[in-house]
Structure 1
Amino acid sequence: MNEVIQTLLNHRSIRSFTEEALSEEQIRLIVQSAQQASTSSYMQAYSIIGVKKKETKEKLAELAGNQSYVAQNGHLFIFCADLYRHELASQMEGVDVKDSLQSTEKFMVALIDAALAAQNAAIAAESMGLGICYIGGIRNNSEKVSEVLKLPNLVIPLFGLVVGYPSRQSSQKPRLPLGHIYHEEHYEQNTDSYIEELETYNEIIQTYYKERTNGVRSDTWTQQMTTMLAQPKRLYMKEFVQKRGFTLK
């Protein structure tokens, strides 16, 4: 097993960091690694906002649901879907590309490009011995986050990535059985087998939480998922996306 695979298999989210900031060299290498991710049709349809200032981090932490580690970390990256530069390209070339920029397809390209770039950044950071955690709470109030970051039209904040030196290591959450994720030739739809594997996975997760919390928490994965999904979140998102110039034709 090589070092790259060892880094990947050792991943866990870190939510407690020392006060040491990332160096300019570390930030540059992480962003360069992100840029080397695959990108659809060479569009590179994303941008990364780096946040160093304490007051800006604290504001974003508040908007993300008062998550302390959004404010206390070595560096905060905000990944954005970005078609703004493509609109500028159309002005430079005198070509009308409005229908494409407002299409659901190009919106998906921007989301996928950003996600691929972010995972490259995460792996680069972890290979340096740093810890990372993705911050979906950035979407709790996308309008105000956009104002704080001064984002132009056709740019949407998707998620944050906190990076820093771990002050303590967290345990690694067991993932779903391989057969639930990887299918060959066709999607396996044996419901009885699926449920049996989920029941086994529930036992694994229940044990994980009991050991991690000294018995305070003992929920299963299916309980956790259904509890979360029973309460829809961020239902304003479609309206916000359209307001930012993505009509999703």
Structure 2
Amino acid sequence: MNNTIETILNHRSIRSFKDIPLTDEQITMIVRCAQSAATSSYLQVYSIIGVKDPVKKQKLAELAGNQDYVANNGHFFVFCADLNRHKLAAELENVPLEDIVETLESTEKFMVGLIDAALAAQNAVISAESMGLGICFIGGLRNNLPEVANVLKTPDRVIPLFGLCVGVPDQQPGQKQRLPMENLYHVDEYMQDDEQFKQQLSRYNEDISNYYQKRTEGKRSHTWTEIVTSKMTKPVRMYMKDFLNNIKLPLK
């Protein structure tokens, strides 16, 4: 096993950071590694906003659900789907907007932006963790994207997707066990045996319940399926489609 694989397998979310800002060299290296990720058709449909201003970080922390580690970390990155630059590229090539607007506003190109940003972010995470830094993804920015977009001054066709806290860890939490490989890796076709799948989930539930009991000294004993079902029965961020339509990224 090499160092890269060890870094990946040792991943865990860090929610407490020492008051040590990242250096410019560390930020540059993380962004360069993010840019080295695969990108669909060389389109590079994403941008990264580094947030240093403590006032902005505090506001984003509030918008993300009062998660204080959004404000208190070594550096805060926001990954965005970005089709604005492609509109500008067309202008540079003297191509009228009406010739590209159908593509710009397609669900496919929106998905490309999501995927490109996620791939870049994972590269950023691996590079940060390889430097001994900790990270935590922040999906809570999507709780109120209009206000997040206002804080970050993003133009039309630029969507803040998620944040990434990076810094020197001030904790060493336990690692949550992932689903067993046989639960998510299929060979040649999707596994259709639902009863076998449920049996695997039941065994996984026992492991996760034990994990929470140990982590909380008996205060929690939730299973994975209990957690998932609870999340799925509480719709969140249902304004998203209207928001995308309003910033000229309608789902078509």
Which TM-score band (shorter chain)? over 0.9
1:54, distance to aligned residue in structure 2 (A)? 1.1
**Could you tell me which residue of structure 2 aligns to residue 51 of structure 1?**
51
**Could you tell me which residue of structure 1 aligns to residue 150 of structure 2?**
147
1:91, distance to aligned residue in structure 2 (A)? 1.3
Counterparts of 1:67 and 1:205, CA distance in 2: 24
Runs of 4+ in 1 over 2 A off after TM superposition: none
Give structure 2 stretches of 5+ with no counterpart: none
The count of corresponding residues between Structure 1 and Structure 2 is 249
Question: How is 1:211-230 mapped onto 2 (pairs within 5 angstroms)?
Answer: 211-230=214-233
**Could you tell me which residue of structure 1 aligns to residue 129 of structure 2?**
126
1:159-194 Cα distance to aligned partner (Å, 9 max, x none):
000000001111100000101221110001111110
Secondary structure at the aligned position of 1:97 is classed as helix
What is the root-mean-square deviation in Å for CA atoms of aligned residues? 0.6
Percent identity among equivalent residues?
A: 59
Q: Which moved more, 1:92-101 or 1:63-72?
A: 92-101
- The letter for the 1-side match of 2:147 is K
Counterparts of 1:117 and 1:4, CA distance in 2: 17
- The letter for the 2-side match of 1:188 is M
1:94, distance to aligned residue in structure 2 (A)? 2.1
**Could you tell me which residue of structure 1 aligns to residue 63 of structure 2?**
63
Counterparts of 2:48 and 2:110, CA distance in 1: 17
Is residue 188 from structure 1 mapped to residue 191 from structure 2 by the alignment?
A: yes
Counterparts of 2:178 and 2:232, CA distance in 1: 19
**Could you tell me which residue of structure 2 aligns to residue 73 of structure 1?**
73
1:205-244 Cα distance to aligned partner (Å, 9 max, x none):
0000000000001110000000111000000001111111
- The letter for the 1-side match of 2:51 is V
Counterparts of 1:180 and 1:11, CA distance in 2: 20
Q: Is the 8 A contact 2:241 2:251 kept in 1?
A: no
- The letter for the 2-side match of 1:110 is G
- The letter for the 2-side match of 1:121 is A
- The letter for the 1-side match of 2:56 is T
Is residue 104 from structure 1 mapped to residue 107 from structure 2 by the alignment?
A: yes
1:7-50 Cα distance to aligned partner (Å, 9 max, x none):
00000000000000000000000000000000000000000000
Q: Is the 8 A contact 2:157 2:248 kept in 1?
A: yes
Is residue 13 from structure 1 mapped to residue 16 from structure 2 by the alignment?
A: no
- The letter for the 1-side match of 2:221 is S
Counterparts of 2:124 and 2:111, CA distance in 1: 20
Give structure 1 stretches of 5+ with no counterpart: none
**Could you tell me which residue of structure 2 aligns to residue 168 of structure 1?**
171
Secondary structure at the aligned position of 2:118 is classed as helix
